[in-house]
């Protein structure tokens, strides 16, 4: 009542319920526009790459990164999932889902996950060479700071020891042992921390 009395001079008679609804809708749209104009949204909607990235939760308090290579398949590092059969995931739009580990390669430190939800597959670089000094970006979740992006350059491309032991008789021996087969590494100065893996 006090609010009405304070604003009584602004009141007007509306001819019908339809006119009242129209007035209420106009007020609502004006209020929503004002709210949106004063609200900061941290989602970089102009960067569609985030829609291909997921947070991977192993259930042991740690997390890693992954990205869609097919609408229902995510690629990540083996050391993110290790011997897990299932992992929880969160997409950039906030949707939570889970996935089942399809296959993994300790030597290349890679794992494929079949996902319950669907996502936008990442676009792969298709050139045959990488130039030193070329700008690169790393998207991930460093130290639990979900969906972060860092930038750097390609510092070098070199061969080095893989993650596990060399293959013997068609099988891989104990994971995390020193002396894996030689693989190609891309060295970068883009900041990468625990949580970026994947």
Active site residue 141: no
Task: Write down the catalytic residue from 84, 104, 109, 141.
Answer: 109
* 192 class by beta-carbon count within 10 Å (0-12 exposed, 13-18 middle, 19+ buried): middle
Active site residue 79: yes
Would you state the torsion angle of the CA atoms of residues 48, 49, 55, 56, taken in this order, to the nearest 10 degrees?
A: 130
* 74 class by beta-carbon count within 10 Å (0-12 exposed, 13-18 middle, 19+ buried): buried
Beta-ladder partners of 172: 167
Active site residue 197: yes
Task: Write down the catalytic residue from 79, 105, 117, 155.
Answer: 79
The Cα 194–Cα 172 span in angstroms is 25
Q: Which residues are catalytic?
A: 79, 109, 197
């Amino acid at each position: 009542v006090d609010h009405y009395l304070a604003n009584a001079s602004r009141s007007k008679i509306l001819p019908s319920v339809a006119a009242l609804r129209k007035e209420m809708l106009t007020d609502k749209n004006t209020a929503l526009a004002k709210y949106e104009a004063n609200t900061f949204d941290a989602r970089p909607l102009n960067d569609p790459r985030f829609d291909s990235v997921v947070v991977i939760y192993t259930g042991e308090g740690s997390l890693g990164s992954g990205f869609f290579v097919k609408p229902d398949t995510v690629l990540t590092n083996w050391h993110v999932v290790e011997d897990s059969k299932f992992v929880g995931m969160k997409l950039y739009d906030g949707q939570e889902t889970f996935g089942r580990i399809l296959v993994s390669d300790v030597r290349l430190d890679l794992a494929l996950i079949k996902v319950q939800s669907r996502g936008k597959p990442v676009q792969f670089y298709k050139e045959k060479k990488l130039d030193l000094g070329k700008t690169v970006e790393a998207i991930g979740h460093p130290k639990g700071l979900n969906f972060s992006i860092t930038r750097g350059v390609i510092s070098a491309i070199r061969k080095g020891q893989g993650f596990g032991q060399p293959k013997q008789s068609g099988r891989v021996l104990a994971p995390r042992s020193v002396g894996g087969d030689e693989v190609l590494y891309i060295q970068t100065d883009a900041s990468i921390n625990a949580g970026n893996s994947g």
